[in-house]
Amino acid sequence: MGIIIKKIETVNKEDKELLYNYLQKYLCEMSKYYDYDMDENGNYVYKYFPLYFSGSNDRQAYFIYFNNVCIGFALINAYSFTGEPVDNAIAEFTIFSCYRNKGYGIKAVEALIKKRGGSWQFKYSNNNSAAVRFWQKVKEKYCGVETVLVDNETAVTINPRFVSI
């Protein structure tokens, strides 16, 4: 039987601290590819984090569950990496390391697309070989269009409305 991600849950304000903790672990991992600043408490600075809990509709945080266990998270907004209009941009996305390379990531992206609909964009560092492999699979599945960005990054735009999945 295939993997089915049955639960993509909006992160509420009560779980803000839990998401922040997950985000810190993720940013530590990503610091191999990006220059992140740390604050006086040793936390990575993510200036947009409070905006996901401001009540605005332009940013949304999600926990990703499999069998009622949180296996990752996604931060979604509507800010294009290329300047073209998109409905959804994946600002941050991770599947926790013990769940990687098992198909959960692709299924989680599918579930997010199904939940929110519309056009999508994501980007990754070309220095992160695991991210390149993963996001290339997503790009191929949804016939995405690549845009090379500065700082050795690639953005991909997909429009699932025009792709049969």
Residue 164 pLDDT more than 60? no
Q: Report the CATH number at residue 104.
A: 3.40.630.30
Tokens 């600002």 belong to which residue? 91
Asked, for residue 84, whether it belongs to a domain, the answer is: yes
Asked, for residue 44, whether it belongs to a domain, the answer is: yes
Asked, for residue 97, whether it belongs to a domain, the answer is: yes
Non-local CB neighbours of 40 within 8 Å, separated by 6+ positions: none
Containing domain of residue 42, as a range?
Answer: 7-118
Residue 77 pLDDT more than 90? yes
Asked, for residue 65, whether it belongs to a domain, the answer is: yes
Asked, for residue 93, whether it belongs to a domain, the answer is: yes
Give 115-124 pLDDT, tens digit per residue.
999 999 999 9
Asked, for residue 156, whether it belongs to a domain, the answer is: no
Gap between the Cα atoms of 162 and 5, Å rounded: 23
CA angle 27, 22, 40 (to 5 degrees): 60
| Number of structural domains the chain divides into | 1
What CA–CA distances, in Å, run from 34 to 14, 21, 47, 110, 159?
29, 19, 15, 26, 28
Burial of 156 (0-12, 13-18, 19+ CB in 10 A): buried
Asked, for residue 134, whether it belongs to a domain, the answer is: no
Reported as a pLDDT band with limits 50, 70 and 90, residue 90 is: very high
Gap between the Cα atoms of 46 and 29, Å rounded: 14
Residue 158 pLDDT more than 60? yes
Asked, for residue 26, whether it belongs to a domain, the answer is: yes
